[in-house]
Amino acid sequence: MPYRICKSIDIDFSHHIRGHSGACINVHGHTWKFEVGVEAEELDAEGFVIDFKRLKAGVLKPSHALLDHSLAVGESTWADIGGDLARIGTALLASRDEVGTGSAAAKAPVGVSVGVSVGGAHNRFPGGMKVAVFPFSPTSERLARWLYDLAVSQLEDDRVRVTYARIYETLHPVESVAEYAI
């Protein structure tokens, strides 16, 4: 029987589902939870499957840096609207002038010094607005597979196996969950 651990992180971001037949065609946001499960038959010399710090630093924190307070879109959507987002981003950030926070330094995206590239996804900053561009339309199911593949690339070895990546799209009032596992 293997030892198992899991760790998660909450991330606030919006997304657009290209071609969706329902309401998810609209830009909309969630408080997401990204969770990864890992197992090993034997513990390491310190008594761990892996140290939780390694899971956080290698998988969850980079996912958070990429996505926190961003708009997540696929490459096709980015190709169609990236230029239009520059005008929108500029207008949104200009609203800081209305409340007196419009200094030159305040025009940069909040909490962001450089863009992040993680597992084939990357940040863009049209007009200063933070966008996470994925090689696919970011449904919960595809994000679960992306997170799983990222975890495998960062954590798996001869002893440790990633067992699942779980995306909680909506935490409250009812959880909606997508999972990719082997």
Percentage of the chain beyond pLDDT 70 is 91
Q: Within 10 A of 69 (CB to CB), how many other CB atoms are there?
A: 15
Q: What is the DSSP letter of 38?
A: E
Q: What is the pTM of this model?
A: 0.88
Place of tokens 């230029």: 83
For domain 3-181, the CATH class is alpha beta
Cα(142)–Cα(159) distance, rounded to whole angstroms? 27
Q: Report pLDDT for 170.
A: 79
Percentage of the chain beyond pLDDT 90 is 82
Q: The tokens of 100 are what? A: 């007196």
Q: Report pLDDT for 172.
A: 72
According to DSSP H, which parts of 46-111 are helical? Answer: 52-55, 61-67, 75-94, 96-99
For the chain, list residues with pLDDT below 50.
Answer: 104-105, 111, 113
**Hey, where are the domains in the chain?**
3-181
Strands (E), 69-152: 71-74, 117-118, 121-124, 131-134
The full length of the chain comes to: 182
